[in-house]
């Protein structure tokens, strides 16, 4: 039986799955179109909070994938909504797209000088992270603010080697602030819960398709949905065999889902 027949809804990872470093994976757009023609529901999910859902939907359309902003769930948006529950003022360490998500979730943004008045601190990757941001977040946390972050990834593979990831920035904030963050992106449950709510398919008929063993596959297992590893990103078949949890299916590429 083809893998796609086991599921009615799919969470589709973007980087390493639909595109790799900006280049579309050959056959990805055709495979996604054929899933939709067969009545499957799709939501695109990413731990990258540097682009908004609207920007990512635009990038998907550029490579031939039909997508509206409502079809894309970023860890930034998921984290912003979680941070906004019962809170009013946020100090944000992150890219402009994350700051917009936090405002759209209903929180007021605190400037660094007013960070001690924030009731939540939200952390994600941005290359301008510096000591003054760390100082502002530290003041907020010691004044009682809660702490949320998109993920805990230590580093990012880049063409010239590894760059520090969100987890590296978060480690500094947690250490100075004396508080541990609630993580809302993959592999934690918040992103999966919001994605399942958007798909409306039952967990046992839903699967995540992604290239990350620790983010996509582990998160899928935690959310009790199916998991499909694609080998167009970082993971190899040998690593998939050794992984815990192991993916339910391993495909060379998302194109094989057609």
Residues that bind Mg ion (CB under 5 A): 13, 15-16, 211-212
Q: What is the largest CA-CA distance in the chain?
A: 59
Catalytic residue at 160? no
- Shortest gap between Cβ of 218 and Mg ion (angstroms)? 13
- Cβ atoms of 138 and 119 within 8 Å: the answer is no
For the beta carbon of residue 237, count every other beta carbon within 10 angstroms: 11
Q: Which residue's Cβ lies closest to Mg ion? A: 16
Quickly count helices (H) and strands (E) in the chain. Answer: 9, 15
Joined tokens for residue 30: 């055709």
Nearer to Mg ion, 11 or 137 (CB): 11
Task: Indicate which residue of 5, 8, 15, 119 is catalytic.
Answer: 15
Residue 250 to residue 121: CA distance in whole angstroms: 38
Task: Indicate which residue of 8, 13, 71, 248 is catalytic.
Answer: 13
- Shortest gap between Cβ of 197 and Mg ion (angstroms)? 22
Cα-Cα-Cα-Cα torsion 71, 75, 76, 81, nearest 10 degrees, comes to 80
- Shortest gap between Cβ of 14 and Mg ion (angstroms)? 7
Nearer to Mg ion, 47 or 52 (CB): 47
Pairing of the two strands 108-109 and 89-93: parallel
- Shortest gap between Cβ of 125 and Mg ion (angstroms)? 14
Nearer to Mg ion, 177 or 212 (CB): 212
Nearer to Mg ion, 212 or 226 (CB): 212
Catalytic residue at 15? yes
Active site residues: 13, 15
């Amino acid at each position: 039986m083809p893998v796609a027949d086991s599921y009615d809804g799919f969470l589709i990872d973007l980087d390493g799955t639909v595109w790799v470093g900006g280049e579309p994976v050959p056959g990805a757009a055709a495979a996604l179109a054929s899933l939709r023609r067969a009545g499957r529901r799709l939501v695109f999910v990413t731990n990258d909070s540097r682009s908004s859902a609207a920007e990512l939907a635009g990038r998907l359309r550029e490579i031939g994938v039909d997508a509206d902003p409502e079809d894309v769930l970023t860890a930034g948006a998921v984290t912003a909504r979680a941070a906004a529950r019962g809170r009013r003022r946020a100090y944000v360490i992150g890219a402009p797209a994350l700051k917009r998500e936090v405002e759209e979730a209903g929180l007021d943004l605190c400037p660094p000088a007013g960070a001690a008045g924030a009731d939540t601190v939200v952390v994600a990757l941005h290359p301008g992270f510096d000591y003054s941001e760390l100082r502002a977040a530290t003041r907020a946390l010691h004044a009682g603010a809660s702490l949320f972050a998109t993920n805990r990834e230590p580093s990012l593979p880049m063409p010239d080697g590894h760059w520090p990831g969100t987890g590296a920035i978060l480690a500094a904030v947690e250490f100075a602030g004396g508080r541990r963050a609630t993580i809302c992106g993959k592999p934690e449950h918040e992103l999966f819960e919001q994605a399942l709510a958007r798909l409306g398919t039952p967990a046992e008929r839903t699967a995540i398709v992604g290239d990350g063993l620790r983010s996509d596959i582990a998160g899928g297992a935690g959310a009790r949905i199916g998991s499909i590893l694609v080998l167009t990103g970082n993971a190899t078949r040998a690593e998939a065999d050794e992984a815990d949890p192991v993916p339910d299916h391993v495909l060379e590429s998302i194109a094989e889902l057609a």
